[in-house]
Structure 1
Amino acid sequence: MTRTLAYPAAPPEAAAKHFAAELAFEVDPDDLVQDLEAGRTDGYVVVETRAPEAFAHARIPGAINLPYRDLTAESTEHLDRDLVYVCYCESTVCNAATKGALKLAQLGFKVKRLSGGITAWIAAGYPVEGTTEPAIRCAC
């Protein structure tokens, strides 16, 4: 038996349910940049969940900064609960976006996470605001 098939593939119905659920939790940089460039921003807000110094350094244009460590019922009372909050951080090795999305969800907000964070965004050549010097780091 091959290593690839050492564990059988799930039935199509189970696979469809799994991958639909995965897409309910994440958006990729390409989909997000296409929406932003087309001006399709109704229904969601892009959120940098790292510290303010990371936000000042490099951010997705139009993003807001909501450091995950500061998320409370009081600090989020001004946020629109009808929107989806697309959280991002440094990369796949930083979990500030996951922590921010978790806190927001626990506070009753709809959330998604941006796959790959700002590092994947920059690697794809998409625009950033900020100083971009020195190099990107976790900073959460």
Structure 2
Amino acid sequence: MSSAVSRIPAASSDVALAHFSLLLEFETDCWDVHHAISNNKQDFVLLDVRSDDKFKQSHIEGAVNLLHSKINEQNLQQFAPDTLFVVYCAGPHCNATEKAAIKLAKLNRPVKKMIGGITGWIDEGLSLIESD
């Protein structure tokens, strides 16, 4: 008797390796972002794609706010063409990161998604910059 988990066999090791390696080309997590920032190894722009109001309420230290709908070549002029953008929004219930990533990719900009967004950041016990 098999469970719903094992009823469909797992992929071969080669296929699993390719799949999970490919995922890391598209996403990173809160701890890796936090580690880079707190160890002065930030080689990316952390882009908060939520509304200005949400950003002003709280955000990750060092993040730049640019609403996903405002991502265009003109608003990215200050960044070198090879700048890696790491985008985040409210959390897993929000698809603003995907909208932002699509726009950045269409502009030939390197991009990764920070999985979890603000929700993941808080869940990991990491602090935010809060407005007074």
Q: Normalising by structure 1, what TM-score?
A: 0.88
Match of 2:91 in 1: 91
d(CA) in 1 for partners of 2:17 and 2:91? 27
Offset of residue 24 of structure 1: 1.0
Identity of aligned residues (%): 31
SS at match of 1:75: helix
1:8 aligns with 2:3: no
Q: Secondary structure at the match of 1:30?
A: helix
Task: Give me the whole-angstrom Cα distance separating, in 2, the residues matched to 1:75 and 1:40.
Answer: 25
Q: CA deviation at 1:69?
A: 0.6
| Ranges in structure 2 where 5+ consecutive residues have no aligned partner | none
Residue number in structure 2 paired with 1:19: 20
Q: Distance in 2 between matches of 1:127 and 1:2?
A: 40
Give 1:1-140 correspondences, 5 Å limit. Answer: 1-41=2-42, 43-131=43-131
Please list the CA deviations of residues 80-132 of structure 1 after superposition, one character each: whole Å capped at 9, or x if unmatched. 22221000000100011111111111111000011100111122221211328
Write the distance in 2 (CA, Å) between the matches of 1:119 and 1:78.
Answer: 29
CA distance in 1, matches of 2:74, 2:44: 21
Secondary structure of the residue that 2:75 maps to in structure 1?
Answer: coil
SS of aligned partner of 2:76: coil
TM-score normalized by the length of structure 2: 0.93
Deviations 1:3-55 (A, max 9, x none): 111111111111111000111111111111111111111x2110001111111
What is the RMSD computed on CA atoms of the aligned residues?
Answer: 1.3
**More helix per residue: 1 or 2?**
2
